[in-house]
């Protein structure tokens, strides 16, 4: 909502934002990051959605209006203009010298660290990372919202040093920053959301195997995966500008980014395509994809060898492993399936594409349930009473009779129950990964943005990796 | 009186005795010296460890900042109005958090307080735009700016943030 005020102020129109108590700071910082140094905010005393309309009106009149008048008529204090220039000055200069404990305390005080111990980012360590890219240190990789700060190989490397990542991860990190910097990812929407959308990444192609980015059991907790994930979380803090209680408003907090790799050897075995190939990339190219998810939730444990029933179980997970009564009723899903589970589906004739077709067909909710969730759990898009919305949804062409999902009993009259799809075809991604010996699937329900970027390697990659003790990249190509 | 002549074995006995005494004295002396040296070494070592704890050999790290480079130029804030009398107040909502209840209530109250104020309802303005970046400006922001100008808005109230 601060963005409307930003437009107004830049047009020479004094403005004020009405916000809940915890969002005053967010509005001010958001506006400052957009170039408006002194946004005015009128604070409403509490959570809007939990107050009856009568209470909302009363509070608006008695508590908000006086603040609105003051915000629009009281002269502004002499405001900040040094903040941006401070940021410019600090690039590349030594900002502090101290012991490791003193450095950690300094970074914590400035909110540059996540509270866990960091490796001090000295110039020498940063320059080591810069060897692993052909980009110049201050080339623009992306401009990241919300703070609209420029991500460069230099500051990407600084955050990577802090996180304890290895220099050879640099190409992956650059591609990951490009992915979240793509407007299609919608970082401005998911990065600071109260839904605590967690940004996560998956890597396809031979580079994931060469670098040891894990695709198997425990993958998101593997060392390389963790180090890359922590780097990206620090980048969201220090370059995108998402800080808890300020601009990262996740109600229960935001997790460190997860990093996955798809098990492409397992995919070859069952005849399924890696995700990046389905997106149009050559299989031997390496890519980084980005998406977001709310908290992980329960996994599915298929205990059947019948591929159709297994599909139905996954459809159940897709239908219900997303937020009920919170407005997120049609969020995109990323589906993680273990290799052995995927194998059962493949033997039943499923490809990823065919599986998606059947999941869309099966993952439905009774329209009444859909409407209940939307009306009582929505923050918007509701324009009337429950009965009004129900009629609207029942009349929607997507609502259909005779498509009750298989987990409902076929009681008399079941054919008359209208159901509504809970997922659209282009909203599903399927990744094969995880413990190959376990029968598991996991649905990640998240924000609407996704993006994929090709990883660019420096010309002397093979030489660098040989010196670093890695086997050559070509050994990790799957033929 | 003739001097007492010692027999040879007596010479040896006396020499041995004398030698033992000398050795004893030497050993004692060496022991004292050793004691002094050890004592001094312990004291000196203690001084050195104090110097280490004082920071002379503790590694120090000169570090750089992790934050990104700014791309946004700060504007100068437009002055606030002296009063809302005679102003055109535009309401813009973000379709969230019951702003369609609070904004009209605010508008009505402002009309009560300033009879010659003009309030443009949130239903007559575009929805609040989503965030944009300097190199990917959002068309919604441009549309809102144009609408505010068309309506003749002189002040804006927008909500709700939650």
**Interval A21-41: pLDDT, tens:** 988 988 998 898 889 999 999
Residue A294 has pLDDT above 80, yes or no: yes
Residue B53: its pLDDT value, please? 41
Nearest residue to A167 via CA among A237, A119, A111, A238: A119
Q: Where are the alpha helices (DSSP H) in A18-169?
A: 24-33, 53-59, 65-73, 82-90, 100-109, 123-130, 153-163
d(CA A6, CA A240): 18
Q: Which residue of B has its CA nearest to A18?
A: B159
Structure tokens that stand for A59 in this block: 């509070």
* Residues of chain B numbered 106-125 and touching chain A (CB < 8 Å): 106, 108-110, 113
Instruction: Judge whether B146 is closer than 8 Å to chain A, CB to CB.
Output: no
Structure tokens that stand for A393 in this block: 């949804």
* Residues of chain A numbered 20-49 and touching chain B (CB < 8 Å): 20, 23, 26-27, 30, 32-38, 41, 44, 47-49
In sequence order, which residues have a C-beta less than 8 Å from that of residue B16 and are 6 or more positions away?
none
Residue A304 has pLDDT above 90, yes or no: yes
CB-CB under 8 Å, A99 with B58: yes
In sequence order, which residues have a C-beta less than 8 Å from that of residue A22 and are 6 or more positions away?
A245, A249
Residues from chain A contacting residue B146 (CB–CB below 8 Å): none
Q: Which residue of B has its CA nearest to A144?
A: B133
d(CA B130, CA A447): 14
Above pLDDT 70, what percent of chain A? Answer: 94
Contact A276, A231 (CB under 8 A): no
Structure tokens that stand for A86 in this block: 């401070």
Which of the residues A5, A7, A94 would you substitute to probe the B interface, choosing the one with the greatest number of B C-beta atoms within 10 Å? A7
Q: Which residue of B has its CA nearest to A194?
A: B162
In sequence order, which residues have a C-beta less than 8 Å from that of residue B56 and are 6 or more positions away?
none
Residues from chain B contacting residue A145 (CB–CB below 8 Å): 131, 133
Between helix A170-181 and helix A223-238 the angle, nearest 10°, is 50
Structure tokens that stand for B88 in this block: 């055109």
Contact A189, B130 (CB under 8 A): yes
Q: Nearest CB to B158: which of A1, A91, A151?
A: A1
The most distant pair of C-alpha atoms in chain B lies apart, rounded to whole Å, by: 150
Q: Which residue of A has its CA nearest to B128?
A: A4
pLDDT in tens, A422-473: 999 999 999 999 999 999 999 998 888 999 999 999 999 999 999 999 999 9
> At which residue do the structure tokens 């130029």 appear?
B73
Q: Could you tell me whether strands A149-151 and A142-144 are parallel, antiparallel, or unpaired per DSSP bridges?
A: antiparallel
Residue B130: its pLDDT value, please? 74
* Residues of chain B numbered 41-80 and touching chain A (CB < 8 Å): 55, 58-75, 77-80
Residue A116: its pLDDT value, please? 96
Residues from chain A contacting residue B81 (CB–CB below 8 Å): 14, 72-73
Mean pLDDT of A251-263: 95
Structure tokens that stand for B85 in this block: 């009398």
Residue B10: its pLDDT value, please? 52
d(CA A356, CA B143): 38
Q: Per-residue pLDDT for chain B (162 aa), expressed as one digit of tens each?
A: 444 444 444 555 555 556 566 666 766 777 677 766 666 655 554 444 333 344 568 999 999 999 988 888 889 999 999 999 999 999 999 888 899 999 999 999 999 999 899 999 999 999 998 766 656 667 888 899 999 999 999 999 999 998
CB-CB under 8 Å, A73 with B84: yes
Residue A168 has pLDDT above 90, yes or no: yes
Structure tokens that stand for A345 in this block: 């589906």
CA-CA-CA-CA torsion sign (A236, A240, A241, A242): negative
CA-CA-CA-CA torsion sign (A7, A9, A15, A20): positive
- B102 pairs with which residues across the strands? none
Instruction: Judge whether A221 is closer than 8 Å to chain B, CB to CB.
Output: no
CB-CB under 8 Å, B73 with A84: yes
Contact A91, A155 (CB under 8 A): yes
ipTM for the predicted complex: 0.87
Instruction: Judge whether B155 is closer than 8 Å to chain A, CB to CB.
Output: yes
In sequence order, which residues have a C-beta less than 8 Å from that of residue A185 and are 6 or more positions away?
A179, A290, A449, A450, A451
Cα distances (Å, whole numbers) of residue A267 to A97, A178, A283, A442? 50, 27, 12, 17
Provide DSSP, A218-231. TGGGSHHHHHHHHH
Mean pLDDT of A175-195: 92
Three-state secondary-structure class, residue A96: strand
Residue A11 has pLDDT above 70, yes or no: yes
d(CA A318, CA A364): 9
Q: Which helix (H) or strand (E) holds B20?
A: helix B8-51
d(CA A454, CA A277): 12
pTM for this model (two decimals): 0.82
Q: How many CB atoms lie within 10 A of CB B71?
A: 19
Contact A386, A372 (CB under 8 A): yes
Instruction: Judge whether A101 is closer than 8 Å to chain B, CB to CB.
Output: no
Q: Considering chain A, what is the average pLDDT of its residues?
A: 92
- At A457, give phi and psi (nearest 5°): -100, 150
> At which residue do the structure tokens 């194998």 appear?
A343
Rg over alpha carbons for chain B, rounded to the nearest Å, is 49
Nearest residue to A420 via CA among A439, A392, A448, A447: A392
Q: Could you tell me whether strands A41-43 and A15-19 are parallel, antiparallel, or unpaired per DSSP bridges?
A: parallel
Q: What is the DSSP letter of A427?
A: G
d(CA A459, CA A465): 12
Contact A284, A206 (CB under 8 A): yes
Contact A170, A156 (CB under 8 A): yes
Q: Nearest CB to B62: which of A6, A122, A143?
A: A122
d(CA A77, CA B112): 29
Contact A7, B144 (CB under 8 A): yes
pLDDT in tens, A60-106: 999 999 999 999 999 987 654 434 434 445 567 899 999 999 999 99
Instruction: Judge whether A400 is closer than 8 Å to chain B, CB to CB.
Output: no
């Amino acid at each position: 909502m601060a963005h409307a005020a930003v437009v107004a102020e830049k047009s020479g129109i004094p403005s004020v934002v009405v916000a809940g108590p915890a969002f005053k700071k967010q509005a001010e910082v958001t506006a400052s990051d957009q170039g408006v140094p002194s946004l005015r905010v009128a604070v409403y005393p509490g959570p809007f959605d939990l107050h009856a309309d009568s209470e909302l009106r009363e509070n608006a009149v008695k508590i908000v209006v006086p603040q609105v008048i003051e915000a629009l008529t009281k002269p502004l204090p002499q405001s900040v203009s040094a903040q941006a220039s401070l940021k410019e000055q600090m690039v590349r200069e030594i900002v502090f010298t101290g012991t490791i404990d003193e450095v950690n305390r300094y970074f914590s005080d400035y909110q540059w660290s996540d509270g866990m111990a960091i490796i001090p980012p000295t110039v020498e360590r940063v320059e080591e990372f810069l060897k692993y890219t052909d980009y110049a240190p201050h080339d623009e990789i992306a401009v990241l919202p919300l703070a609209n700060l420029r991500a460069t190989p230099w500051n990407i490397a600084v955050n990577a040093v802090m996180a304890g990542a290895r220099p050879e991860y640099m190409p992956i990190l650059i591609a990951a920053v490009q992915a979240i910097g793509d407007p299609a990812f919608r970082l401005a929407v998911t990065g600071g959301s109260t839904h605590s959308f967690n940004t996560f990444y998956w890597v396809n192609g031979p580079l994931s195997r060469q670098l040891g980015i894990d695709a198997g059991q425990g993958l998101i907790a593997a060392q390389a995966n963790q180090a890359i994930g922590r780097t990206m979380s620090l980048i969201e803090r220090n370059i995108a500008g998402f800080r808890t209680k300020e601009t990262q408003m996740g109600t229960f907090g935001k997790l460190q980014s997860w990093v996955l790799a798809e098990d492409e050897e397992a995919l070859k075995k069952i005849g399924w395509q890696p995700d990046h190939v389905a997106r149009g990339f050559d299989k031997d190219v390496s890519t980084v994809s980005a998406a977001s998810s709310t908290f992980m939730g329960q996994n599915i444990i298929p205990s059947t060898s019948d591929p159709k029933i297994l599909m139905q179980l996954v459809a159940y997970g897709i239908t219900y492993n997303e937020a009920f009564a919170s407005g997120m009723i049609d969020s995109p899903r990323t589906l993680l399936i273990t290799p052995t589970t995927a194998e059962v589906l493949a033997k039943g004739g499923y490809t990823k594409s065919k599986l998606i077709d059947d999941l869309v067909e099966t993952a439905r909710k009774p329209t009444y349930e859909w409407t209940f969730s939307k009306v009582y759990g929505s923050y918007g898009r509701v324009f009337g009473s429950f009965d009004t919305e129900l009629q609207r949804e029942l009349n929607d062409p997507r609502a259909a009779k005779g498509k009750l999902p298989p987990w409902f009993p076929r009681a008399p009259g079941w054919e008359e129950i209208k159901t509504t799809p809970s997922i659209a075809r282009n909203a599903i991604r399927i990744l094969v990964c995880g413990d190959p010996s376990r029968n598991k699937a996991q649905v990640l329900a998240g924000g609407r943005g996704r993006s994929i970027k090709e990883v660019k390697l420096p010309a002397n990659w093979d030489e660098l990796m040989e010196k670093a003790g890695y086997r050559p990249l070509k050994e990790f190509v799957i033929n | 009186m003739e001097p007492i002549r010692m027999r040879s074995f007596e010479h040896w006995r006396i020499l041995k005795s004398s030698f033992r005494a000398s050795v004893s004295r030497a050993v004692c002396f060496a022991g004292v010296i050793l004691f002094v040296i050890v004592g001094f070494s312990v004291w000196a070592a203690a001084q050195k460890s104090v110097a280490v704890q004082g920071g002379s050999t503790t590694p120090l790290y000169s570090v750089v900042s992790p934050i990104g480079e700014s791309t946004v130029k700060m504007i100068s804030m437009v002055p606030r109005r002296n009063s809302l009398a005679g102003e055109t107040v535009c309401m813009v909502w973000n379709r969230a958090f019951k702003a369609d209840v609070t904004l009209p209530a605010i508008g009505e109250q402002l009309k009560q307080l300033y009879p010659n104020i003009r309030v443009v309802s949130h239903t007559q303005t575009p929805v609040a735009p989503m965030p944009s970046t300097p190199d990917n400006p959002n068309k919604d922001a441009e549309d809102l700016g144009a609408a505010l100008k068309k309506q003749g808005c002189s002040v804006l109230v927008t909500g709700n943030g939650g």
